Structure 1
Amino acid sequence: MKIVSVAGTKNTGKTTLVTLLVNELVKRGFKVGTVKHTHVKLDVEGKDTWKHRESGAEIVVGAGGEETFFIINKDMSLEKIITGAEQLDELDFLVLEGYKPANYAKISTSPLDDPFSLAQVDVRELDEKSIGKLVDLVEERSFGKLANLDCGECGYENCQEMALAIVQGDAKENLCVMKQISDVILKVNGNRVPMNPFVNKFIENTFLGMISALKIKEHGEPQKIELLIQHDINQ
């Protein structure tokens, strides 16, 4: 999944640009999602879900009418949202509205001094041809969530340098060795721990060998297998 942000000052057409980008990406056959950063509360006072939250519920889920939504009583970071929502894994592109500080490829609707900027546009002057060129740029120079392991295997000193090179058209995302061997992801307290290719493959083969005798296919053909170890190292 590649990520692009639409950033700019208030009333400069960010939402309009998001909808234009999404529409063009969908026309090209991609699965697209969006995330909007806002400073106002999303729930409506007086609604049932609002009453649930007012009663003290920390997480409220609304389901029905072909929709499901979650309301969590805290401001989650962008990285937590991207990492925590499994549904996002099914997408080809994620378009952000806002999140100006985020180090992802971005298109601005007002002057923005940012090395991750792909282009600055005046939304009022956009037409079908210019939108097409913008989306060409997004396809070519945007990238997904970085491994942030700074292994140096890509030839750059760290992941941020590689990301900047992608935005500038000097590198491709497939340079990231860690993305090519992401079959096994190890996290400790929510933080990803770097593993070299040998360790990654060793853990994968060992784990799959250990569970091969289990009746996992009763839950469907396995495509994603997760193991959570809850352990207090001080015990």
Structure 2
Amino acid sequence: MKVFSVIGISKSGKTTTIENIIKELVKRNYSVGTVKEIHFHNFKMDMDGTNTDRHKKAGSSLIAARGANETNIMYQRKLNLNEILDFYSHDFVILEGVRGTWAPTIVTAHDVQGIEDRISETTFAFSGVISGNLSEYKGIPAINSLTEIEKLVDLIEEKVFERLPDMKDECCMKCGHTCKELSSLILKGEKSRTDCVLREQNVILKVNGKEITMVPFVQKILQNSVEAVAGELDGYSVNGNIELLIKR
């Protein structure tokens, strides 16, 4: 799954750019999912007094509202990005308004100041209103999604890579970089996605069917613990895989 973000001030062409990218990606036979960041502090998906709101106030921590044409699942907390992305299995997931992540980023803006307010080491393109007035800025291309959508999606196909694990900096950095730093280096062509040491897990842990990404140190602790116990049992072999299932 490849993930990238489109960020920009209101009315800068952010959502229009995303709409056009989605249409072109679908045209190229990719499956596409999206995540919209809501920046209004008091925003709620549910209305006071509805049946689902009453469920929440009674203490339900997970609420699903199923209708004839859609299903909404509401958690009573803000999920982190990894938790959200675990629900997706699409070729591309586009984040709207999500900042401060490792994800490659397209910035939309009205003017150069709008670019300067949001440009980062993971920015690989500009679009939106500003792309009608310039073709590049600081060596990064500005591409109008209304008139050059094929060119913009060509660049997305070239630059956007498989999702990084986005581990906490203090937990990993086994490649020598944070996930955001590695993303920047991949976009510059100085590193590749294979430089992430977590691309292959030698020890696989699944909780409720979902694989949990572990840094090498944690993998080694789990491996040593299981092998120490299994090694004392009849039938143990140093060759082959060990599988452990804990039912709760």
TM-score by length of 2: 0.68
- Work out which of the two has the higher radius of gyration on C-alpha atoms and give 1 or 2: 2
RMSD: 3.4
Runs (4 or more) in structure 1 with deviation over 6 Å come to 198-203
Structure 2: unaligned runs, 5 residues or longer: 110-114, 133-143, 227-239
Query: Equivalent residue of 1:17, what SS?
Result: helix
More helix by share: 1
Count of residue pairs the alignment pairs up: 203
Structure 1: unaligned runs, 5 residues or longer: 211-226, 231-235
Distance 1:145 1:229 in 2: 30
For residues 64-114 of structure 1, give each alpha carbon's deviation from its aligned partner in whole angstroms, at most 9, with x where no partner exists.
42532201111222222124x2xx1x2111100011222210111121231
Query: Which residue identity is paired with 1:60?
Result: I
Query: Equivalent residue of 1:206, what SS?
Result: coil
Moved more, 164-173 or 21-30: 164-173
Aligned to 1:195: 216
Query: Which residue identity is paired with 1:77?
Result: N
Distance 1:13 1:47, change over 3 A: farther
Distance 1:229 1:104 in 2: 35
1:142–1:166: 8 Å Cα contact kept in structure 2? no
Distance 1:151 1:47 in 2: 49
Query: Which residue identity is paired with 1:107?
Result: I
Aligned to 2:53: 50
Aligned to 1:95: 94
In the TM superposition, residue 128 of structure 1 has moved relative to its aligned partner by 5.4
Pairs within 5 Å for 1:81-120: 81-83=84-86, 85=87, 88=88, 90-110=89-109, 111=115, 112-120=118-126
Matched, 1:151 2:169: no
1:147–1:178: 8 Å Cα contact kept in structure 2? no
Identical-residue share of aligned pairs (%): 30
Distance 2:7 2:195 in 1: 27
Pairs within 5 Å for 1:109-188: 109-110=108-109, 111=115, 112-123=118-129, 125=132, 126-127=144-145, 130-143=148-161, 144-146=163-165, 148=167, 149-152=172-175, 157-179=177-199, 181-182=200-201, 184-186=203-205
